[in-house]
Amino acid sequence: QVQLVESGGGVVQPGKSLRLSCVASGFSFWDSAMHWVRQAPGRGLEWVAVLAYDGSDKQYVDSVKGRFTVSRDNSKNTVYLEMKNLRADDTAVYYCAKLQAAGVSSWGQGTQVTVSS
Amino acid sequence: FSLTQPHSVSGSPGTTVTISCTRSSGSIANNFVQWYQQRPGSAPVTVIYRDDRRPSGVPVRFSGSIDRSSNSASLTISGLQTEDEADYYCQSYDGSNHWVFGGGTRLTVL
């Protein structure tokens, strides 16, 4: 079955950087677009970014453009989210997800990112 | 574009509730809609995909539909059970590969 395991979360000061990782198994990772979705405390889900199966296309929500970068290593079945210049409003649980337009989506368990001085 | 959901709905056990999801621009019919259930402290789980299809393991009490006239999607839960109490999110995308979630609806089973 599909498994997505995130790591790399933690507490970081405003303006600093953090890199999240997501290791995938149970499906053809090399052939799948991958997404990052976040959820601030007490708030709803917010789509953050998508990366095409071959890395050729990357899209971001406006609030993270220029600060966040999504990448992948298909040899390691891993997708990354590099976050720079972090702000307090980036505090959230970050989910790695295999969102599908016409199929069943799968989600990781999430990793907490807290931006605080 | 955005997806608008009611903040909350409620119903008694055994009744039927419907959660709406209205798309602000672009046709609801042009891009598939998914629905997710999220219980406190847990990751979302797909309950409806491709507008109206149920993943295996999701009870038949859950159904989805779209309405072109109101440019909206709906999630209907019949025979409400206490275990259905959760947050529900609709989700779709556009031609630029930007994905959007609705604001979420808190379902309370009275």
Q: Which of B34, B87, B98 sits opposite A105 (nearest CB)?
A: B34
The alpha-carbon gap from A82 to the nearest alpha carbon of chain B, in Å, equals 19
Q: Which of A47, A103, A106 is opposite residue B101, by nearest beta carbon?
A: A47
Quick: pLDDT tens for A51-87. Answer: 999 999 999 999 999 999 999 999 999 999 999 999 9
Are A107 and B98 an interchain contact pair (Cβ–Cβ within 8 Å)? no
If you average pLDDT over every residue of chain A, what do you get? Answer: 97
Instruction: Walk across the sheet containing A3-7 and list its strands.
Output: A3-7, A18-25, A78-83, A68-73
C-beta atoms of A100 and B49 within 8 A:
yes
Question: Measured between alpha carbons, how far is B105 from B5 in angstroms, rounded to an integer?
Answer: 6
> Looking at residue B92, what is its pLDDT?
96
Separation CA B19–CA A80 (nearest Å): 34
Q: How many of the other CB atoms lie within 10 Å of CB of B82?
A: 8
* C-alpha span between B11 and B107 (Å, rounded): 8
| DSSP label of B54 | P
pLDDT for A17-28, tens place per residue? 999 999 999 999
Chain B, 65 to 94: residues with Cβ < 8 Å from chain A are 87, 89, 91, 93
Q: Which residue out of A45, A57, A65 would a mutagenesis test of the B interface target, given it has the greatest number of B Cβ atoms within 10 Å?
A: A45
- Whether the Cβ atoms of residue A74 and residue A29 lie closer than 8 Å to each other: yes
Task: Please list every residue in chain A whose beta carbon sits closer than 8 Å to the beta carbon of residue B106.
Answer: none
* φ, ψ for residue B53, nearest 5 deg: -100, 140
- Asked if the C-beta of A42 comes within 8 angstroms of chain B's C-beta atoms, the answer is no
CA distance A14 to chain B (A): 26
- Relative to beta strand B45-48, strand B99-101 is unpaired
A43 and A98 Cβ atoms separated by less than 8 Å: no
In the predicted model, residues of chain B with pLDDT beneath 50 are none
A27-56 burial string, b = 16+ CB within 10 Å, else e?
A: eebeebbbbbbbbeeeeebbbbbbbeeeee
Mean pLDDT of the A8-32 span? 97
